[in-house]
Amino acid sequence: MSMKQGLRIDNRDTLHLKVCNVIREAIIRGDFKPGERLKQSDMAEQLGVSRMPVREAFRKLESEGLIILEPHKGAIVKSIQVEDVAEIYALRAELERIAVEQSADLLTNDDTQQLSYLADQMETAEDVDDFVQYNIDFHKLLIKRCNWERLNTFITTLWNGLPQQTPHLLEGQTEMSNKEHRAIINAIQNKEKGKAGKLVAEHIKRTGEKLINSLEKEGQS
């Protein structure tokens, strides 16, 4: 079994999986607006496949909470209220705390170096979009070594739960986040997993509250 170089067949995923991924990305990117109706036939035609893989993709996306499927009616993109944001951040705080506690001891030196690197990048990031991407990588890396499968899927579901187009709302609070990131890294390097978890939870809670504040202000205007 040599598998020397990259002469691999493009992608051995099944079709409905590819379809699912494409649609998921589109929804998270915001290409399909909340409340928008998604038709199997249109989607199938656009992607150049039959309706079947689209149907299966829709089922999966429903289970991930990205769309709602009503019998005989079809799929609509789920829309997000402020209360959803509150829920997502509250749950993220608790679940990622647990995940970090599981993961912390198993992080390699490479991992912690990578964490520092990402913190550097965030501190010197030019625009907010970059910051957001590094931030995502940072949080994903923190829990990378957590072996609890259910926990991981729950967290991913929450991450996918809100379209990633809110970065501008985080403006002007990056300094605080950067401080907290450093504190988290410290705790991990000192093998204080309990503390690391606690810091992560507080960090998420705080950013959640900030985000909700911004949303409510924006709603009023």
Partner DNA sequence: ACATTTACAATTGGATCCAGTATCCTAAAT
Partner DNA sequence: ATTTAGGATACTGGATCCAATTGTAAATGT
H-assigned helices in 15-108: 15-29, 40-47, 51-63, 82-104
Does residue number 39 form part of the binding site for DNA (CB under 7 A)? yes
Q: Could you tell me the smallest distance in angstroms from the CB atom of residue 148 to its own copies?
A: 5
Please identify which residue in 16, 97, 139, 193 interacts with DNA, judged by CB under 7 A.
16
Burial label for 188, CB within 10 Å (0-12, 13-18, 19+), is buried
Contact in structure between 149 and 113 (CB atoms under 8 Å): no
| Closer to its own copies by Cβ: residue 55 or 144 | 55
Does residue number 88 form part of the binding site for its own copies (CB under 8 A)? yes
Q: How would DSSP label each residue in 123-139? A: HH-SSHHHHHHHHHHHH
And the tokens for 159?
A: 């991450």
Does residue number 24 form part of the binding site for its own copies (CB under 8 A)? no
Does residue number 13 form part of the binding site for its own copies (CB under 8 A)? yes
Q: Could you tell me the smallest distance in angstroms from the CB atom of residue 29 to DNA?
A: 21
Q: Which region holds residue 65: left if phi is over 0, alpha if psi is between -120 and 50, else beta?
A: left
| Closer to its own copies by Cβ: residue 185 or 196 | 196
Which residues bind to its own copies, rule: CB under 8 A? 12-14, 17, 55-56, 59-60, 63-65, 71-72, 83, 87-88, 90-91, 94-95, 98, 147-151, 153-154, 157-158, 161
